[in-house]
Copies of this chain bind each other. A is one copy, B any other.
Amino acid sequence: MKVLVAGAAGFIGSHVVLCLLESGYDVFAIDNFSNAVEGPDGKAESLKRVSELTGKDIPFAKCDLRNEQEIENLFTTHKFDAVIHLAALKAVGESVDKPLEYYANNLIGSLNLLSVCKKHGVKNFIFSSSATVYGPPKELPILENASTGQGITNPYGQTKYMVEQVLMDLSKAEKDWNIVLLRYFNPVGAHPSGRIGEDPLGIPNNLMPFVAQVCIGRLPVLKIYGDKFDTPDGTGVRDYIHIMDLARGHVSALDRIKKAKQIGCEIYNLGTGKGYSVLEMVAALEKASGRKIPTEMSVPRPGDIASCYCDPSLAYEKLGWKCEFGLSEMCRDLWNWQLNNPQGFSTAAGPN
């Protein structure tokens, strides 16, 4: 089975490609380098390392999904059996400041990709969605049948909700599509080799890359946004999931599509089901690194909620998938990646 992975050079993409290759899938990778380092040869540094780790070549094309003709050319040259669509702008705060850019990139990209898929009869489709589609949870843990679309406070989350809606309507209209929506909780960590990991451009938007950069001295101090939430220690609680577990979830979804005749549109939470607070995450990385992480208490950001974690049992039941890694592995592998790549993919690796 030949799988097109869109957004393959990013944090999630590179780990997904690795897991696909290790599971025997053929991969064709595309990325527009909007959030990944392009090597001098026009290839993705992250995917070169995946090639090293797996011993396999990874066919790659630079491709921007906003340009339908580029996708069309790709589908004319290659025959794909399935698509894993991870390509999106994903910085929550930036999306509030640049809504048009986010809507245009994420919606137009997805719609162009789907139009070309339909035209070429490629109807096995896995979409990277997000826990943000639930908005502020009414009940915890969050189940897949919880309501979506209400109270989403940023355009990034809206684009995920909207593409989900498109895919659900498409599946209702055309029964021969097999669509899986994977709702990610908070992916962290890195491949245990320390060769690939999260490499945010600029100041990290997510907690753990930020914590890791404070830990290694690239950033001075971690601001914690609020300690008066209704949680055990007052700081926000989230469902962190090891990137390798998350990546394996895509393989499980693809296995299901391959085995099942017709699944319509299925939705799965990908999380551990456990919530950890900001302070717990900081403590865990201090333990993994043996270093002290300076923190500073600040006020809550608008829209921030106290707790968010899922019930991942549906994915276990239907996909046979569950998380294998816990908090200590997440922090061990994050730290290993950070220590060996203090400047991410941009610099030669070397311990700090």
Count of chain A residues with a beta carbon within 8 Å of a chain B beta carbon: 26
Least CB distance from A97 to B in Å reads 6
Least CB distance from A169 to B in Å reads 4
Most chain B CB within 10 A, of A100, A111, A162, is at: A100
Whether B103 pairs with A111 at a CB distance below 8 angstroms is yes
In the bound assembly, the distance between CA atoms of A149 and B169 in angstroms comes to 15
How many copies altogether?
Answer: 2
Residues of chain B with a CB closer than 8 A to A99's CB:
166, 169-170, 172-173
Q: Does A218 contact B (CB under 8 A)?
A: no
Residues of chain B with a CB closer than 8 A to A111's CB:
100, 103-104, 107-108
Of all chain B residues, the one with the shortest Cβ separation from A102 is B169
Residues of chain B with a CB closer than 8 A to A100's CB:
111, 114-115, 118, 166, 170
Whether A165 pairs with B169 at a CB distance below 8 angstroms is no
Q: Does A150 contact B (CB under 8 A)?
A: yes
Residues of chain B with a CB closer than 8 A to A158's CB:
162, 165, 169
In the bound assembly, the distance between CA atoms of A115 and B108 in angstroms comes to 12
Q: Does A13 contact B (CB under 8 A)?
A: no
In the bound assembly, the distance between CA atoms of A111 and B103 in angstroms comes to 7
In the bound assembly, the distance between CA atoms of A215 and B108 in angstroms comes to 43
In the bound assembly, the distance between CA atoms of A98 and B150 in angstroms comes to 25
Q: Does A155 contact B (CB under 8 A)?
A: yes
In the bound assembly, the distance between CA atoms of A100 and B179 in angstroms comes to 14
Residues of chain B with a CB closer than 8 A to A140's CB:
none
In the bound assembly, the distance between CA atoms of A115 and B97 in angstroms comes to 15
Least CB distance from A134 to B in Å reads 14
Residues of chain B with a CB closer than 8 A to A201's CB:
none
In the bound assembly, the distance between CA atoms of A134 and B117 in angstroms comes to 32
Q: Does A96 contact B (CB under 8 A)?
A: yes
Q: Mask for A61-95, Cβ within 8 A of B = 1, else 0? A: 00000000000000000000000000000000000
Residues of chain B with a CB closer than 8 A to A170's CB:
99-100
Residue of B114, B149, B166 touching A149 (CB-CB under 8 A): B149
In the bound assembly, the distance between CA atoms of A165 and B152 in angstroms comes to 11
Q: Which residues, 163 to 214 on A, are CB-close (under 8 Å) to B?
A: 165-166, 169-170, 172-173
Residue of B97, B107, B149, B173 touching A107 (CB-CB under 8 A): B107
Q: Mask for A111-134, Cβ within 8 A of B = 1, else 0? A: 110110010000000000000000
Most chain B CB within 10 A, of A98, A150, A155, is at: A155
Of all chain B residues, the one with the shortest Cβ separation from A110 is B103
Residues of chain B with a CB closer than 8 A to A108's CB:
107-108, 111-112
Q: Which residues, 139 to 168 on A, are CB-close (under 8 Å) to B?
A: 147, 149-150, 155, 158, 162, 165-166
Residues of chain B with a CB closer than 8 A to A169's CB:
96, 99, 103, 155, 158
Of all chain B residues, the one with the shortest Cβ separation from A108 is B108
In the bound assembly, the distance between CA atoms of A114 and B103 in angstroms comes to 11
Whether A173 pairs with B96 at a CB distance below 8 angstroms is yes
In the bound assembly, the distance between CA atoms of A188 and B155 in angstroms comes to 35
In the complex, 14 of the A-B residue pairs with CB atoms within 8 angstroms, ordered by the A residue number, are A97-B173, A99-B166, A99-B172, A99-B173, A100-B114, A100-B115, A100-B166, A103-B111, A103-B166, A103-B169, A107-B111, A108-B111, A108-B112, A150-B150
The 4 closest A-B pairs by CB, nearest first: A99-B169, A104-B111, A155-B169, A103-B166
